[in-house]
Structure 1
Amino acid sequence: MNRIVTAAAFSLVLAASLTGCSSSGHSETAHARSVASSSPTPTPTAASIADAGKYFLATLCPVNKASATLNDALTAQNLAAIQSSAKALLAPAQNTARRLDDGAFEWPSVVDQKDVTSLRNYYLSALGPINQLATAPNLDEANAVVFPSDTDSGPASQRIRLRLNLSANTSEGC
């Protein structure tokens, strides 16, 4: 993101400096606009491992915290708490999927995009069951809700954490 802003600012300064040096008015200004608008779009640069770690934690910590609250409600078998914690989990789960799918963020080469995609797909597929819990009319129906398997996404998340030098503990760093 910083590179795009920097390039845009550079183009603006370039156009302003060319216009300021102009002695003939419009033709120079039009040329400056042409030069500024034809500048190549900067290529995004992969995030550093440290920045990717911060992004990963900012992406996963809210959903992990909300998931823990839902798990507590399910363990307590409290329907009102299950419904409210599931409703509170919907937005963080959707936001996690959205951030993992964000093409503007480029993961460092140590992170396999297949792992990111696996994790994103898990959160997308979990939205339905979360919504079922939020609207469950009774404990029997709440207990019958089945979440998607995390046999792929669980290890994918741990591989990402390992490669970003983050703790395997999903609540650490949050």
Structure 2
Amino acid sequence: MKKLIVPALLAMLVLAGCTSGGAVASSPSSSSASSVKPTPTPTVMTNDEAGAKYLSIVCPGNKASIALDAAFTSGDIAQITAAAASARDIYQTSALALADTKILWPEGIAADLKKLSDAQFARVSFADQVSKATTFDEANSIIYVNDDSGAVAQKVRAQLGLPASTTCE
């Protein structure tokens, strides 16, 4: 069963995971019409901006996947559950950021980002189950259902002008 976990975790690395950002406009004061400043119109990110944002969202998840894979390789249940708990939280942050409608991505990638967000939420569930395991065999028996998120991530990377093999150093 262990041989199923390692390829599944490596497949997660294709996403390349982080936190979201996004501007929140404050409400203007209603005390004086002359002091009201118009709210700036949000603009869609350029491909360069979106590429940097995308990597800031997905790179932490990739790093968490590497750490979880290393923990599984160690066979130490304490390391496995700690890495899984950390990964779970990072995957959730990434999933929420990819689904954040306040981030104005370039046209044509919203549907793919939704698929990647959904895949990250599936990883949240997987990592949560692993984090609760009490033995190596129990953790190793939790099956991660692989999906097509690797292909989708590569499509997003291509659309944003990112190389296929971007590292998250």
Given the two structures, how large is their TM-score scaled by the length of structure 2? 0.76
Describe the shift of the 1:42–1:129 C-alpha distance in structure 2 as closer, same or farther (beyond 3 A). same
- Are the structure 2 counterparts of residues 74 and 31 from structure 1 closer, same or farther at C-alpha, using a change threshold of 3 Å? closer
Aligned to 1:54: 52
Query: 2:163 aligns to what?
Result: 167
Query: Deviation digits for residues 86-111 of structure 1, max 9, x if unmatched?
Result: 111122111101110111111112x4
- Per-residue CA deviation, residues 27-72 of structure 1 (Å, 9 max, x unaligned), is xx75536xx38x5x55421101111011011101111001101011
Structure 2 contact 63–168 (Cα < 8 Å) conserved: no
Equivalent residue for 1:154, pick from 143, 150, 154: 150
For residues 1-174 of structure 1, the aligned pairs below 5 Å read: 30-32=32-34, 36=36, 42-109=40-107, 111-151=108-148, 153-169=149-165, 172-174=167-169
- Structure 1 portions without partners, runs of 5+: 16-28
Q: Which amino acid aligns with 1:154?
A: G
Q: Secondary structure at the match of 1:44?
A: coil
RMSD: 2.6
Contact 1:3–1:44 under 8 Å retained in 2: no
Give how far 1:150 is off: 2.0
Change beyond 3 A, Cα 1:69–1:173: closer
Question: In 2, Cα distance between the equivalents of 1:82 and 1:69?
Answer: 9
4+ residue stretches of structure 1 with deviation over 6 A?
A: none
Higher RCO, 1 vs 2 (CA within 8 Å, ≥6 residues apart): 2
Larger deviation, residues 142-151 vs 51-60 = 142-151
* Pair 50,137 (structure 1): closer, same or farther in 2 beyond 3 Å: same
Q: Which runs of 5+ in 2 are unaligned?
A: 1-21
> 1:43, 1:149 → 2: CA distance?
40
More helix by share: 1
Change (3 A) 1:3 1:136: closer
The TM-score with structure 1 as length reference comes to 0.74
Q: How many residues align?
A: 148
1:169 deviation in Å?
Answer: 2.1
Name the amino acid aligned to 1:158.
Answer: Q
Distance 1:121 1:31 in 2: 44
